[in-house]
Every structure is written in structure tokens, then in C-alpha cells.
Amino acid sequence: MKRLSIVIAVAAALALGAGLALGATFIGIGTGGTGGVYYPYGGGLAEIWSKYVPGVKAVAEVTGASVENVKLAHKGETVVGEVMGDVAVAGYKGLSKFKGKKYNILSMAIMYPNLLQVVTLKKSGITNIEQIKGKRISSGSPGSGTNFMSETVFKALGIPLNSYKDARLSFTETANALRDGTIDVGVWSVGPPTSSIMDLATTHDVHIIAFTPEQVKKILAYNKTYSAVELNAGIYRGQDKAVPTIGVWNLVIVQKSLSADLVYKLVKALWDHKDYLMKIHPSAAYTTPENTVKYSPIPLHPGTVKALKERGISVPAKLMP
């Protein structure tokens, strides 16, 4: 992963140099690992913006995902990031892992909802999330929204963070570790279906751990950005019943300092060419102006507000920058 990130960073730097030489605007998009949805979705954004926004060269970059993407956008190492809603709120307000420091980010657009998918092999006998105590798990890679959400859920359920051994792996690494038997439980917060779980389910009998009504109630009381959802039956091989779980919306964040004109052009191109994103992943069907107003957990960038008003969509006061 580190080597891939370095390669992409070098490529991005070269693209930036070329872009500056030609007077282009370079847009770095912080995504996630290659085994989730953020990376291909970000690649779609990069293609749309590079093709349909004159003077823009956009590149999707592999990152540690949500938490890292907030920090990268704040520092200017990227200017756009894909982020889970709970992480965006924490970064905007300076909470939790952001340790009292408010980050200079605003919302550009809502992407799609993530579902928390807690996976084990059927032969493990693990059927309840609270059975992870004493087990080997992967709660997601450091800096990812999955790790952030996993630890939030564990805290809500009273599961001590030192009561299990956490490998903190990427999605692809988590699937491989389950396959190899080096961990007992893996956690994904991602739009279903995701390729890494699908690949695992083709060779092994997997079990998606359901949350009980009591557990869901505790989690929703602990974090207001979450909602009760179901992973539909048949998403993965052998998963014959719907699985009660927790959901959270993803969004595209941008630096506060980006010009309203640029963000207006970017978000307009995104909404106008959503059909292309849907070819990459069906979850992009949720990427709409209406959902941006309905589900954005932090205020919107002025460029997005302009694009929404142009479509006749009113913006509530709480989302005004």
C-alpha cells in the first residue's frame, strides 16, 4: 500500500507540474484503498472533471480513507476528499481523533450510504459483535472511516478497545486475513456490494454478523449521524437473509478556500454526469442534489449552494457556509 501511494503521489506531482505549465488547475482526490468503493468512485470523479470541466486535471489518489482525507484536504495535499459523515462532523467540529482542532473543510456533495459489514467465516461460530472480546480482528486501516466507525460502535456497546487484538488492515488485506485464518472478524464500512467481500465469499462460507435491536438502539443514541439499515439478502454468496446493521452517508468534502466558481463547475459536472459514475458502482444512484441537501452532515461550500439554487433547490440555514 505504501509503495502504491508513493507511486501515485509521484504521478500526481508530475501531473501537477505539467498542469501548472499549461495553466491547468490540478485537483487531487483523496479516496481510500483499492479494495473498496472510494477508489473507483474517485477515479470516476477524476475522469468526469478532467473531461467536462475546462482547464481541470483531476487525479484519484490512494489514501488511508476518511480520517486521512480530512487531514489531507485541510493541509492542501489534496483539495477534495471522500469521507464518511461521522468523520466529516468530527473533523469540522474538532472532535474525537481530531483532538480539538477544527479542520477547514466544507461539503461539496453527498455520495451514497455506507453499511457497516462485520464479517466472519461461518466455521468460527461467532454470531454476535460482542464476541470479539479476546479475538483477532481487523477494524479497518489506520486513518480510515471504517476504523473510526468500528471504534465508535465498540464504545457505544461497551466493548473495551483493548479487549481484542486489532490488525487494522485494508479491505483487501482483511479479506485475505480471514481467508488465511490470521484474524477471526473483519469490519467494512462501505457501499455494498464490495469486491473484497465478494471475492472472499466465492471461496469461503462467510457470515455477516447482525446487530440486535438493543445494540442498534445503543449505537444510534451514541452517534446521531448513524441510522438503522439492512444489508439486503443476496448481496453476497450464501447470505440468504437481510442483515440488520448500521448505516452512515458518505460525502465529498472540499477545502473551504476553494473558489465558489471552481466548486460550482465541479459539482455541476458531477451531477450532470452521474450516469457515468453509476456504471462504475450502482451506489452512485444516491449522488443527487436532493440527497446533498437532505443528508449533508456539515455546511455546504458556496459553490454547491450556487449549483443547488440554480436547480431551484432551497438550502436550509444549517447547511449555509
CATH label of the domain that carries residue 223 = 3.40.190.10
Residue 70 is which amino acid? Answer: V
Is 17's pLDDT higher than 70?
no
Tell me the average pLDDT across 90-109: 96
Cα–Cα distance between 19 and 279 in angstroms, integer? 28
Instruction: Give the chain's mean pLDDT.
Output: 93
List the end-to-end C-alpha distance of the chain, in Å, as a whole number.
36
Shared-domain flag, residues 278 and 311: yes
- Can you give the pLDDT at residue 35? 82
Shared-domain flag, residues 243 and 268: no
Set of cell numbers at residue 41: 468512485
Is 317's pLDDT higher than 80?
yes
Is 109's pLDDT higher than 50?
yes
Is 20's pLDDT higher than 60?
no
* 299: preceding bond cis by omega (within 30 degrees): no
Helices and strands, counts by H and E, the chain: 12, 10
Tell me the average pLDDT across 296-312: 98
Shared-domain flag, residues 285 and 199: no
Shared-domain flag, residues 211 and 266: no
- Name the domain boundary from 200, 226, 248: 248
| pTM, two decimal places | 0.87
Helices (H), the chain: 2-21, 38-52, 66-75, 85-93, 145-156, 171-180, 195-203, 213-222, 260-272, 274-280, 289-295, 302-310
Q: How does pLDDT run across 23-75, given as a tens digit for each residue?
A: 789 999 999 988 889 999 999 999 999 999 999 999 999 999 999 999 999 99
Cα–Cα distance between 158 and 148 in angstroms, integer? 16
Is 5's pLDDT higher than 60?
no
Q: How does pLDDT run across 205-256, given as a tens digit for each residue?
A: 999 999 999 999 999 999 999 999 999 999 999 999 999 999 999 999 999 9
With H, G, I as helix, E, B as strand and everything else as coil, classify residue 105.
strand
Cα–Cα distance between 102 and 256 in angstroms, integer? 12
- Can you give the pLDDT at residue 22? 52
Q: Which residues contact 71 (CB under 8 A, 6 or more apart)?
A: 91, 103, 143
Determine contact, residues 193/243, Cβ cutoff 8 Å. Answer: no
Q: How does pLDDT run across 116-166, given as a tens digit for each residue?
A: 999 999 999 999 999 999 999 999 999 999 999 999 999 999 999 999 999
Cα–Cα distance between 91 and 101 in angstroms, integer? 8
With cut-offs at 50, 70 and 90, classify the pLDDT of residue 7: very low
Shared-domain flag, residues 46 and 78: yes
Shared-domain flag, residues 148 and 31: no
Q: Residue 187: which domain range?
A: 114-248
Cα–Cα distance between 14 and 27 in angstroms, integer? 13
Q: Treating both helix axes as pointing N-terminal to C-terminal, what angle do 85-93 and 66-75 enclose, rounded to 10 degrees?
A: 40
How many domains does the chain divide into? 2
The 10 Å Cβ neighbour count of residue 288 is 16
- Name the domain boundary from 215, 248, 281: 248
Shared-domain flag, residues 274 and 203: no
Cα–Cα distance between 250 and 66 in angstroms, integer? 9
Cα–Cα distance between 167 and 286 in angstroms, integer? 32
